[in-house]
Structure 1
């Protein structure tokens, strides 16, 4: 089983159309079983999508937010379908980003989606507040495993600290009484290299970093250079050295054959300000 997680920074990216084309080309080659995406955007004031684009696959947790014609995951799924890859998907609008985008979370699954679970991580659900955070989980048909796409805040945020969001995520996921394994995939904004903060909190809570479990791995660096959200938190030199802030965690010691960075300019073209993570698991 192959899992892939990436913060797409969609629509906002320069040369977005070209990068999306590259993303589609290499997803068709990788063919992950599950794709967890963060910063999956649509333009808030765009026309609504036509019904054929939705194809009955949008499980939208906020009824007041309609699917728009430039919704990133809907377009990705439609283009993959043209290539014979029929991914099932779900998208959750989370907040208004950059005052113009419906920013959300999305999961694509090769298997039909049997169940979904939405977890509010921030203190409130104010759609106009850029600090609003959620997690979105799915259980594919015929499986007991659950897969969550996650985008958490920062450890040092005094209004919405990482620790509070993590505790809500862990408590809600455990309370949901999943019978299979649980995979938390996404942008955790917690560098694995920094001690005593978010990464150590997750590991200390009993979760397993699949990067460390992998028999074969690379550097794991998923962000290199200066990006939004980190400009005032690390020096430019530190960011240029790279951070491993995008992770795939599991509540069990999964048998991970390989973990590698994708869409980093070496293995696949860069398509976002984040690189992705792809892991191969023994079924």
Structure 2
């Protein structure tokens, strides 16, 4: 039996027609039946009304209370209405665009045991450099997985420290490992090589998969890459070598799924 993963930097509530794009994301999740989903730039309004309930949510001590406009909460509610239940959690990173509490979320068909890990020197919600990885353990078809969702800084702007701290924790993992998210380090460049050269012996889904579709996840200038003029793959899925990767596809690029963010997504299927 196969297991399906998806990662997407959502740029949530910053897109034109944001609610329509949330629905498009939800419909693709329902179509593909992803087992685990990692989402970055998951926002909620600082002053929005508090959410009254979130029955499948696991809260972290470092994360603020959920608000009604929390992007992942609304996505999970949409999926529930459409007949699919996802367990989920959210790690808070920092204030974004002066009006959002921004973080990273993991959604899973199976229950999660979660924690967050501060990987940056900064630990201040007013600093864009504050970064926490969201760490989840789950069992799928009697197989144990450790899933880590990251939204990392650029090389020279904090990535080196963040990777070093994350790497030290990943070395303790005994189960099958999948680390995915917005790494902000393009394929084959220095930061990317630091990850693959690690003693963790991780494999890049887009290198090891039997079938690979798509080449890049950003193009031209976007937030954080204001001077970029190239098509780059800065979103990745890395996994432990015990996993056989059947496919790695760029998603939400306007092909099989519509564009929903300033990043394209990435999906992986393993056996």
TM over 0.5: yes
Pair 1:199-2:192 in alignment = yes
- Tell me how far apart the structure 1 counterparts of residues 253 and 108 of structure 2 sit (CA, whole Å): 23
Pair 1:279-2:268 in alignment = yes
For residue 166 of structure 2, what is the aligned residue in structure 1? 169
- Tell me how far apart the structure 1 counterparts of residues 58 and 44 of structure 2 sit (CA, whole Å): 13
For residue 156 of structure 1, what is the aligned residue in structure 2? 156
Pair 1:144-2:133 in alignment = no
How far has the Cα of 1:47 moved from its partner?
Answer: 0.8
For residue 59 of structure 2, what is the aligned residue in structure 1? 59
For residue 207 of structure 2, what is the aligned residue in structure 1? 212
Q: Is the 8 A contact 2:48 2:68 kept in 1?
A: yes
More strand by share: 2
How far has the Cα of 1:218 moved from its partner?
Answer: 1.6
- CA deviation profile, 1:171-226 (whole Å, cap 9, x unmatched): 0222xx322111110000010043xx101111111321111110000233111221
SS at match of 2:57: coil
Counterparts of 1:1-283 in structure 2, within 5 Å, are 1-51=3-53, 54-62=54-62, 65-113=64-112, 115-141=113-139, 142-157=142-157, 161-174=158-171, 177-194=172-189, 197-205=190-198, 206-232=201-227, 234=228, 236=229, 238=230, 242-282=231-271
- Tell me how far apart the structure 1 counterparts of residues 143 and 123 of structure 2 sit (CA, whole Å): 30
SS at match of 2:232: coil
User: TM-score normalized by structure 2?
Assistant: 0.94
| CA RMSD after TM alignment | 1.4
Q: Is the 8 A contact 1:26 1:268 kept in 2?
A: yes
Q: Is the 8 A contact 1:210 1:254 kept in 2?
A: no
SS at match of 1:145: strand
Q: Is the 8 A contact 1:193 1:243 kept in 2?
A: no
How far has the Cα of 1:156 moved from its partner?
Answer: 2.6
- Tell me how far apart the structure 2 counterparts of residues 56 and 193 of structure 1 sit (CA, whole Å): 38
TM superposition outliers: structure 1 runs of 4+ over 4 Å: none
Q: Which runs of 5+ in 1 are unaligned?
A: none
- Tell me how far apart the structure 1 counterparts of residues 61 and 104 of structure 2 sit (CA, whole Å): 11
- Tell me how far apart the structure 1 counterparts of residues 56 and 256 of structure 2 sit (CA, whole Å): 34
- Tell me how far apart the structure 2 counterparts of residues 153 and 224 of structure 1 sit (CA, whole Å): 18
Q: Is the 8 A contact 1:213 1:253 kept in 2?
A: no
Q: Is the 8 A contact 2:7 2:266 kept in 1?
A: yes
